Amino acid sequence: MFGEMRYAMPTRVRPGYTPQESYWMDKIEAEIAARDRCEKPKNTFLTFLKEIKKNTVLGINRGIIEPHCYLYQDKAIAKIEPTGWINNHGSKAYLFHLHKLYVLDSERSSGVGTAFMQEIKRCANESGAVIFLYAANFNLSNEDEGLPYGFGDMNDLIRYWRMNYLTYTGNDAALRQWYERMGFFNACTHDGQEWIPKSYTEYRNQFVYIGENFSGDRDSLIQRTDESGMCDHCKKQKDH
């Protein structure tokens, strides 16, 4: 799962939230205030944060400076960052990017990953958020595409998580099937500006989940599954 987060400082740090979360609250409130009409109530972002904090530990509390990281049962970790698509009006109020999710190697096949994803979906359902991701199997390493490491301890995992060196292992078919079972669907996740496809990007690895309480422009999201709503890169790959 890929993406880049811009670090910025808010006008004020809000009680109980990190500087990065406060910054996004400022951005969302400013965007909503500037519009006469918004497709989604302004509390989607705040509700998602409130819900995800109920059953996870903030990464910043475990020494992870990288924003928007959450630990689940000390067995799995994910980075879920707020963002927006320039060609979906108002999407900054409800859109999240699941940048990466990793389960301790010692916990593979234990159901922890599925439980964590169900928790993420619960937060999206409760808040009406939309989540998108790029499905790719990866391991952490000490250099890009280096020797893949395995982890049985969260403290060790955190140390390499901060380094952010990834080794992609391929064999994504089972992972794609897993996301499909979890209720995600294939769609173009690009907007031509902030989110641009890479040379290796595959349409079949791009997934979107729409929270049950989403009340924005659902048609504009579903249109991303049709060629009329796709970027040229995805059009060439759909149904091939």
Domains of the chain with bracketed CATH: 19-237 (3.40.630)
What is the band of 32 on the pLDDT scale with cuts at 50, 70, 90? low
Which range among 30-44, 122-136, 150-164 has the greatest average pLDDT? 122-136
**Rounded percentage of the chain residues whose pLDDT exceeds 70:** 89
100 has a pLDDT exceeding 80: yes
Q: With 80 as the cut, is the pLDDT of residue 117 above it?
A: yes
Question: Does residue 107 carry a pLDDT above 60?
Answer: yes
* pLDDT score, position 30: 73
| Residue range 30-48: mean pLDDT, rounded | 67
pLDDT band at 7 (very low <50, low <70, confident <90, very high): low
Secondary structure E strands in the chain? 57-58, 69-72, 76-82, 95-103, 130-134, 138-140, 166-168, 185-186, 206-210
The pLDDT confidence band at residue 40, using thresholds 50, 70 and 90, is: very low
pLDDT score recorded for residue 36:
46
If phi > 0 it is left, if psi is from -120 to 50 it is alpha, else beta; for residue 212 that is: alpha
Residue 158 has which token pair? 């955190």
pLDDT at 6 over 50: no
Q: Once rounded to an integer, what is the mean pLDDT over residues 146-168?
A: 81
Q: What pLDDT is stored for residue 33 in this prediction?
A: 63
Per-residue confidence (pLDDT) for residue 41, from 0 to 100? 47
Whether residue 4 has pLDDT greater than 70: no
Residue 16 pLDDT: 72
The strand pairing partners of 13, in sequence order, are none
Rounded average pLDDT over 215-238: 92
pLDDT at 160 over 90: no
Higher pLDDT, 24 or 6: 24
Rounded Cα–Cα distance for residues 59 and 71 (Å): 6
Which residue did the predictor score with more confidence, 189 or 15? Answer: 189
Mean pLDDT of 86-109: 91
Q: Which residue has the higher pLDDT, 7 or 110?
A: 110
pLDDT of residue 2: 40
Question: What pLDDT is recorded for position 19?
Answer: 79
Residue with the larger pLDDT of the pair 13 and 135: 135
Cα–Cα nearest to 89, from 236, 234, 219: 219
Dihedrals φ, ψ of 107, to 5°?
-110, 5
